[in-house]
Structure 1
Amino acid sequence: MNGLIVPPGQGRTLITKAQEVTFKATGADGSFASTFEAVVPPGFDVGAHVHDGSQEFFYLLEGELELFAFEPVERTAGPWQGWKSPDGHRPLRAAAGSCMLVPAGCPHAFRNHTDQPARMLFQSFPPPAHERYFEELCEIFSAGRTVDADAVQRLRDRYDVKQLTPLRYGPPPV
């Protein structure tokens, strides 16, 4: 039996105009969870969403992100940045060294509100759903000048991503 060692800068990387994801350990490697390193570009907002069948863990390696992981008092259609939990929690501006654990069924999101990229380690259990999701999402994002929102929604429907607020990418808000 052998383990897996992935040196810095190694792994299979997928790059599009809206994301860069490097697969570090996958279900094919025998990993208990899919493990990725992701670069979150300025202005990227994954949008509030929930997964009924998977758990996630995020560790911020570099930069700053706005994060939340709670059931809000009210799931509004507007920006999740104003959401509040019944016990008073609000989205938080997190710096390198911060982490976020998301149990199955918990609404969550992250956004890069700065003008610098952020880098995070991301794990999803069980594998390989997020691995396939990222592969297909990169194909959609690379298919043309604009992103086919219907194709993204069909992808989310297949991979247990219930989007609560829109995914956004572009220049960071002023």
Structure 2
Amino acid sequence: MENPINDLTSVNAQDGQILSVVGDTYRLVITGEQTNGAYAVIDMLVPPQGGPGPHAHARFQEAFYVLEGEVEVKTKSQTYTARKGSFINIPLGGVVHCFKNKTDTIAHLLCVVVPAGLEDFFKEIGTPVPAGTFLPPPVMSPEDQQRLQGIAEKYGQKVFPPDYLD
């Protein structure tokens, strides 16, 4: 029997908040507010040399599908070049990881987070921007890094120094 309370959710291509986060541009396609916290979907545009530094999140699973371009995904145990059509799964448990676009073209990723919550972190640290806009990555002083770590911890994440996985 169909449940009339649970109806489909549709999102148009121009819908969803767009944020500059660490120099990347993320569109919050669907958030935990719309899925009762079950998951979130984030459309990520990663410019050349862009991508987040090493970080971990033990309480949620993160998966990426590469729509265009490529990114290098790195953990302590492996480095993987994810190209168009590749799928990357970051399991529950807090594996430290990062990804970086080492090419000269924009990488386009679709990110799914289960359960939702990562998008709230992005809302707090990001800057709203128009579609297609890229801001330079912020220069992080030690105080800025400490502030970011505090915000990350609020959302169940941990941020590591840029050279942590080298």
- Verify: 1:118 aligned to 2:124, yes or no: no
Q: 1:123 to 1:116 in 2, by over 3 A?
A: same
**Residue 30 (structure 2) aligned to one of 22, 25, 28:** 25
Q: Indicate the structure whose relative CO is greater, using CA pairs within 8 Å and at least 6 residues apart.
A: 1
Instruction: Indicate the SS of the match to 1:151.
Output: helix
Match of 1:107 in 2: 96
**Residue 64 (structure 1) aligned to one of 70, 78, 88:** 70
Task: Please give the alpha-carbon distance, in whole angstroms, between the structure 1 residues aligned to 2:7 and 2:80.
Answer: 40
AA aligned to 2:158 is: K
> Where does structure 2 lack aligned partners over 5 or more consecutive residues?
1-5, 128-134
AA aligned to 1:59 is: Y
Contact 1:46–1:166 under 8 Å retained in 2: no
> Where does structure 1 lack aligned partners over 5 or more consecutive residues?
73-84, 168-174
Report the aligned-residue RMSD: 2.4
Deviation, structure 1 residue 99: 0.9
Segments ≥4 residues shifted beyond 6 Å: none
Match of 2:55 in 1: 49
TM-score, normalised with respect to structure 2? 0.76
Instruction: Number of aligned residue pairs: give it.
Output: 145
AA aligned to 2:108 is: R
Q: 1:104 to 1:22 in 2, by over 3 A?
A: same
